[in-house]
Amino acid sequence: MGERKTSDNFMMWLAAFIVNKRKAFIALFALACIYSAVSIPKVGVVNDLTEYLPESTETRQGLDIMNEEFTTFGTAKILVSNITYEKALKLGEELDEIKGISAVSFYDEDDDTYDSQERGDYYKDASALYTLTFDEEEDTDLSQEAMVQVRQVLDGYSSYVYTTVDKDDAASLKADMKVIVVIVIFIILVVLLFTSKTYMEIVIFLAVFGVAALLNMGTNYWFGEISFVTNAVGAVLQLALAIDYAIILFHRFMEEHEDKDTIEAVTVALSKAIPEISSSSLTTVSGMVALMFMQFGIGMDLGSVLTKAIIISLLTVFLFMPALIVMFSKAIDKTVHKNFVPKINIWGRIVVKLRYVGMPVFLVIVAGAAVYSGKCPYIYDINSIESSKKNEFMASKERIEETFEVTNTMAIVIPRGDYEKEGRILKRLEAMDEVDTALGLANVEVSDDGKYILVDRLSPREFSEVAGVDLDLVRALYQFYAIDKEQYSAFMKNLEDYRVSIIDMIDFIYNQKEKGGLEFDDDLSEEIDDLYKAVCDARQQLEGETYDRLVFNLKGAVEGAETFATIDRIRDIALEYYDEVYVVGDATSNYDLSTSFQRDNEIISVLTALFVGIILLFTFQSAGLPFLLVLTIQGSIWINFSMPYLTGSTMYFLSYLVVSSIQMGATIDYAIVITSRYLELRKTMTDRKKTVVEALNQSFPTIITSGTILTSAGFVIGCLTGNAVIASLGKVLGRGTLISIILVMTVLPQLLLLGDKLIDKTELTRAVKLGQEKEEA
C-alpha cells in the first residue's frame, strides 16, 4: 500500500506541476509549431520502396551498380483502341517524329525488322500497342517535354499510357490526401458531435491533433528522408492516437469536474490519465520498435517515425491539452449539452449472459483464424495490388493486359569484357520458353541476314560487305586503325587476316571523322553519325566501366513460385560463366522482399508478443491478465488477416506489417480502457457481473469515438486514394479496427469475468498481501 500511495503522490505532484506551468508549456508548443512549419518543406519523401531493400540483397547491389554504370532510357507503352491498322501506322510515324523519342516499336509489314514477329503482337481487336523509347533518362527535361508532346499527339484518341516518365506518385497522393483530409475531418466532427459531452471539447481535440500532427511532420526533418508510406501512415496513426489519448484525459476531467473546480479536476484527471495512457502507449511503441528489427529498411523508417509520432502525441496530450482545458474552462461549462451516447447496460447484460456460449465460439474462431491467417496469400509487387480507385498508371496497365501480353523487363549484371560468354548466356535465355526477348552487346545484329553481330571481329572484306563500303576504303581504314592502336604486326602479315570488332571500328571511324583525319561524302558521313549514335545508345544501356548488362523480357506474372523458380534458373545459367552475377528487376525485387518478409514477420511477431506481455505484466501487476488481453489482441489480428484467404483475395505484405502493428496498438488502447475500468470498479463493487456491465458502459464513449474515427478514416483512405499501397493500408486498417472494436466490446468482458479468479490468483502483490496477513494473525 505504501508503494501505491507513493506512486499516486508522485503523479499528483507531476500533474500539479504541469497544470501550474501551463503558460510556459503553451509558449513552448507555440515555438515548436513555428519550427515545424518551417521544417516541413525540407522533408524529403522517397517514392521507391526498393531504396529500402537490405544492402546485402542481390537486387539492391545490382541496382546500385546499374545506377552508377548504366543509362536506362525512359520508356512508355501506349495502347490506342478503336483505330484501324492504317491509322495506327500513321500515328506511329507521328510519335516517332517527336523530339526526344529515339524509337517507336509498332508492326510494319514493309519493315524487315519485324520479319520474325507477328502483327498480333502489336495490333489486335482494333487496338494498337506502341512501345516508345526516349533519347534520355525518364527524369530529364527532354524526356518530360517529349512526354507532353506525346500526350498532345494522342489527344482525341482513346488511349492508355503506361509509363513512369511523367508519373508523379507524390503529387497524385498529395492531391488525393487533400480530399481525404476534408472527408476525414468531417467524419471526426460528426463523431465528436455525437460522442462529446460539451461542444468545446471538439475544438480542443482538433487543436491537440493539429499540433501533434504538425510537430511530427516538422520533426521528420531530423531523419532527412522518409518513405511515402511513412509520410501517409504517420498522420493516420497520430489521428488515432492523439484523439484516443485526448478522449481518455478529457473524459476523466469531466468525471472529476462534477464535484471539483477546473484546476483541481484537471490535476486529478491528469494524475489518473498519465499511467493509463502511458501503459497504453508503451505497448503501441513496442510494436513500432519491433518494426525496427526488420531486415527490410522500411521497418526502421516506419518504426522510428511512428515511435516519434506516439511520443509527440503523448507530450501534446500531457503538456498542452491541460492548458487548453483550463484556458477554455468557461466555454466548456457553457457548451455542455445532452449526452447523445446511449447507455449500453442492455448490451453489457447480453455479453455477460452469453459468456458460456460466446467463449467457446470465440476460441473456435480464433483457432481457425490462426490457421487461415498463416495461409494468407501475400503479394510483393506494388502493381499487383487491387484498389477501388485506380490511377492512370494502373488503369493503363490493366487495359493493356486485357489485349496484349505484357512482359517484365529484367537485367543480368556481369563483369565486363567477355562477349563470347555473354553470347552464350543470351542464346540460352532466348531458348527459354519463359523469356520473350534477350538483348546484349553480344547479340545485336548488324546484318540483315543475322550473320554478324556488333561485337564480331571482322576482316576488311567482311566489314566491307556488312557496311556496304568500298573494299579499298575499308582496307585503308583498317591500316589507319592498326597505326592508331600501334598494332604494327598487321602490316607484317596479310591485312586480310587482321580482324577488328565492328563496335571498335565504328568508334574509330567516327572519332577520326570528327578530328578531320578522314573525310567522307555527306551521305556516308550522316550514315556514320547515325550508326555511331545507335552504338553509343547501346553502350550506355549495356556496357559500363566494369560491368556489362544483359536485358531480357520475362513472360508471365511478376511474382509467384513459378516466376521465382525461373529467376533461380536464369541466375544459375549466368553463374556457370561468371562468379559474380546480379539478376535485377521487379521480379527479383519481389523475390528479395518475399524472402526478407518471412524472417521479418517471425521477428516482429515474437518481439511484439514479448514486449506487450512484459508491459502489461508490469502495468496490471498480474501474470494472468496479460494472457487474457493478448488473446483478445492477437485474436483480432488473426481474424483480420485470415480474411484474404477466406475471400480469395490477396494481401500486400507491407499492409500486414504496418496494420498489424497499428491494429495491435488500437486494440491494446481499447482493451486497457475496459480493463482499467473493470479493475477500478471491482474494488468497490462485489457483483462481478455488474462490474463488467458498468466497465463496458463507462468505456463505451471512449472506444466508440476513437474506433469509429479510425475505422472510417481507414475505409475512406482505402476507397479514395489512387495510390495502391496507401489504399491497401487504409482498407486493412479500417477492417482491423472494426474487428478490434467488436472483440473488446464482446469477448474481452467475457474473458475478464471468466478469468476473474485467475486475475486474483496471479496478482503479483498477492504473495506480499498473504505474508502480511499471516504476520498480523
Q: Please report the pLDDT score of residue 540 as a whole number.
A: 83
- If you average pLDDT over residues 243-250, what whole number do you get? 82
pLDDT at 777: 47
Give the pairing of strands 101-105 and 582-585. Answer: unpaired
SS3 label, residue 470? coil
Report the share of the chain in percent with pLDDT over 90. Answer: 28
Least confident interval from 32-41, 256-265, 321-330, 628-637: 628-637
- What is the SS3 assignment for 500? strand
- Per-residue 3-state assignment (H helix, E strand, C coil) for 128-192: EEEEEEEEEECCCHHHHHHHHHHHHHHCCCEEEEEECCCCCHHHHHHHHHHHHHHHHHHHHHHHH
The edge-to-edge listing of strands for the beta sheet with 582-585 is 435-439, 547-554, 408-415, 582-585
Q: Which of 106, 112, 150, 105 is nearest to 124 (CA)?
A: 106
As a whole number, mean pLDDT of residues 155-164 equals 90
6: its cell numbers = 507513493
Residue 506 has pLDDT above 70, yes or no: yes
Considering only residues 175 and 505, tell me which one the structure prediction assigns the higher pLDDT: 505
Does residue 401 surpass a pLDDT of 90?
no
**Is residue 767 predicted with pLDDT exceeding 50?**
no
- pLDDT of amino acid 770: 46
Alpha carbon 481 to chain centroid distance? 54
Residues 269-324: tens digit of each pLDDT: 999 888 878 877 777 787 778 778 887 888 888 888 888 988 998 999 999 999 99
What is the helix (H) or strand (E) element at residue 439, kind and residue range? strand 435-439
Name 389's Cβ contacts closer than 8 Å, sequence gap at least 6. 176, 719, 720, 721, 722, 727
User: With 90 as the cut, is the pLDDT of residue 761 above it?
Assistant: no
What is the 3-state composition of the chain as percent helix, strand, coil, each rounded to the nearest 5? 70, 10, 20
More confident residue, 215 or 466: 215
User: Average pLDDT of the chain?
Assistant: 84
The Cα–Cα gap between 575 and 566 comes to 14
Picking from 382, 152, 286, the residue whose alpha carbon sits closest to that of residue 609 is: 286
pLDDT value of residue 275: 83
pLDDT in tens, 455-504: 888 888 888 887 777 888 888 888 888 888 878 776 666 778 888 888 88
Residues 16, 18, 20, CA angle at the centre, nearest 5°?
65
pLDDT at 240: 64
pLDDT digits (tens, 9 = 90+) for 53-64: 888 888 889 989
Lowest mean pLDDT among 81-85, 732-736, 760-764: 760-764
Q: pLDDT for 338-366, tens place per residue?
A: 878 888 889 999 999 999 998 999 999 99
Q: Residue 35 in contact with residue 211, Cβ under 8 Å?
A: no
Rounded to an integer, what distance in angstroms lies between the CA atom of residue 468 and that of residue 448? 12
**Rounded Cα gap, residues 457 and 478, in angstroms:** 12
pLDDT at 448 (0 to 100): 63
Which whole number is the average pLDDT over 123-131?
91
Query: Taking Cα atoms as reference points, which of 469, 447, 456, 534 lies closest to residue 501?
Result: 456
DSSP state, residue 319: I
Find, among 122, 115, 95, 134, the residue nearest to 445 by Cα: 115
Average pLDDT, integer, range 405-409: 79
The secondary element (H helix, E strand) that includes residue 582 is strand 582-585
Closest among 122, 147, 124, 125 to 136, alpha carbons compared = 147
In this predicted model, what pLDDT tens digit does every residue of 132-159 receive, in sequence order? 999 888 889 999 999 999 999 999 899 9
- Residue 666: pLDDT above 80? no
**With contact defined as beta carbons under 8 Å apart, do 441 and 426 qualify?**
no
Quick one: which of 381, 397, 385, 393 has its CA closest to 169?
Answer: 393
Sign of CA dihedral 131, 135, 141, 146: negative
The 3-state secondary structure of 207-276, one letter per residue = HHHHHHHHHHHHHHHHHCEEEHHHHHHHHHHHHHHHHHHHHHHHHHHHHHCCCCCHHHHHHHHHHHHHHH
pLDDT exceeds 90 at position 28: yes
Give residue-wise pLDDT tens across range 583-615. Answer: 998 888 888 888 878 777 777 777 777 777 777
- Kindly list the distances between the CA atom of residue 666 and the CA atoms of 245, 565, 709, in Å, as whole numbers in the listed order: 11, 40, 12
715 pLDDT higher than 80: yes
Which residues face 45 on adjacent strands? 226
State the average pLDDT over residues 194-198.
Answer: 84
Reference 49, options 218, 235, 308, 302; nearest CA is 302
Q: Provide, rounded to the nearest whole percent, the portion of the chain with pLDDT above 70.
A: 94
Give the chain's radius of gyration (CA, Å).
34
- Of 397 and 280, more confident: 397
Whole-number Å distance between alpha carbons of 721 and 736: 19
Strands 225-227 and 435-439: unpaired
What pLDDT does residue 677 have? 86
| Range 255-278 average pLDDT | 89
pLDDT per residue over 64-95, tens digit each? 999 898 888 888 999 999 999 999 999 999 99
DSSP β-ladder status, 158-163 and 73-81: antiparallel
Q: What nine digits make up the cell of 337?
A: 449539452
Distances (CA, A) of 473 to 98, 224, 467, 480, 742: 36, 60, 11, 11, 87
Tally of CB atoms within 10 A around 705? 23
Per-residue pLDDT at 30 exceeds 50: yes
- DSSP H helices in 292-344: 298-315, 321-327, 329-334
Helix/strand/coil for 523:
helix
Return the C-alpha torsion angle 52, 53, 55, 60, nearest 10. Answer: -110
Contacts of 745 (CB under 8 A, 6+ apart): 347, 351, 696, 700, 703
Mean pLDDT in residue range 180-197: 82
Around Cβ 405, how many Cβ atoms within 10 Å?
12
Segment of 43-57, 361-375, 397-411, 703-717 carrying the highest mean pLDDT: 361-375
Would you say residue 4 has pLDDT above 60?
Answer: no
